[in-house]
Amino acid sequence: MASSGDHAPQLSTAVAVPGAGAPVRVVAAPGLTEADFTSAVESSLFRQWLKNLQEEKGVLTYGRLNLRQILIQGVDMFGKRVGFVKFKADIIDEETKAKIPGIVFARGPAVAVLILLESKGQTYAVLTEQVRVPVGKFILELPAGMLDDEKGDFVGTAVREVEEETGIKLNLEDMIDLTALLNPDTGCRMLPSPGGCDEEIGLFLYRGHADEDTLRALQGKETGLRDHGELIQAAGGAVQPAVARNHRRQGAQRHRPVRDGQEGRPPAVVSDDLSPPWQLVVGQLVRASQL
């Protein structure tokens, strides 16, 4: 791998990509250290992206698009593990000579769980309220988390994230993989932002029963891995045509009615606080669970 110095060329290497013809040049953006550049190129995130290019319906499958170069712009480390990789792929349509948008934020797969708890004839959805700096807000969302290894253990990760974020211990055998019903072309995963991010999400459903004491204990419960900078509060919401959904923020109670806009349709657990794409997804999943 070439190194950088006062008069040395920028950091670069070459990767073999079947379907791309000659090896593709990978270069580092100015200021990127050799250690970070090497970590990015050798990361599972980058290797998986290269693999996707060659699979069925991959960008390079049909021979029309040509990958000329990749610019590694940045990498974020989670301890010794690569967390995120930011890069730009130089891809050309050989027929029109147009450049294809190729900015990539690689963060890898994640999981989310819709938890529905039955109590005295009502169904409650368990959500978490988290600090989301990229949007500058506290966001109400499904318990979710990133896969932190290369094993692809979506179910095990889902169970662990739920316990970390809500304190609820789920059994593996009780988890229902909702994304298994999706189009196989997507890998049976939801792709929330494929125009700029590689993230794929596995969605799971858990249905169980809870008494009133358990539901009350969940409201405003502070959880998360504090040494990892997580600040999470659990929240619950009843699923019915017209209900009040409560959650605490800084010790204050807030009550908001949630109604379905069309008579005769099953209710949806959606609100302005629930971050996209969960507004749509949660509504669809709750409706499906009530059929």
Residue where a domain stops, chosen among 75, 106, 137: 106
**What secondary structure does DSSP assign to 208-227, as a single string?**
EE--HHHHHHHTT-EES-GG
- DSSP assigned state of 57: T
**Is residue 254 located within the same domain as residue 117?**
yes
**Is residue 274 located within the same domain as residue 181?**
yes
Number of domains comprising the chain: 2
Q: Average pLDDT, whole number, for the chain?
A: 75
Q: Can you give the pLDDT at residue 73?
A: 98
Q: Is the pLDDT of residue 256 over 60?
A: no
Q: What is the pTM of this model?
A: 0.72
**Is residue 165 located within the same domain as residue 74?**
no
Which is higher by pLDDT, 219 or 5? Answer: 219
CA 269 – CA 274 distance, rounded (Å): 9
Q: Name the residue with tokens 């480390």.
A: 77
Domain membership flag for residue 45: yes
Q: Can you give the pLDDT at residue 84?
A: 97
Residue where a domain stops, chosen among 65, 81, 106: 106
Residue where a domain stops, chosen among 57, 82, 106: 106
Q: Is the pLDDT of residue 87 over 60?
A: yes
Residue 50: domain span: 12-106
**Is residue 164 located within the same domain as residue 282?**
yes
Mean pLDDT, residues 195-222: 83
CA 27 – CA 9 distance, rounded (Å): 10
Mean pLDDT, residues 32-36: 96
Domain membership flag for residue 3: no
**Is residue 182 located within the same domain as residue 85?**
no
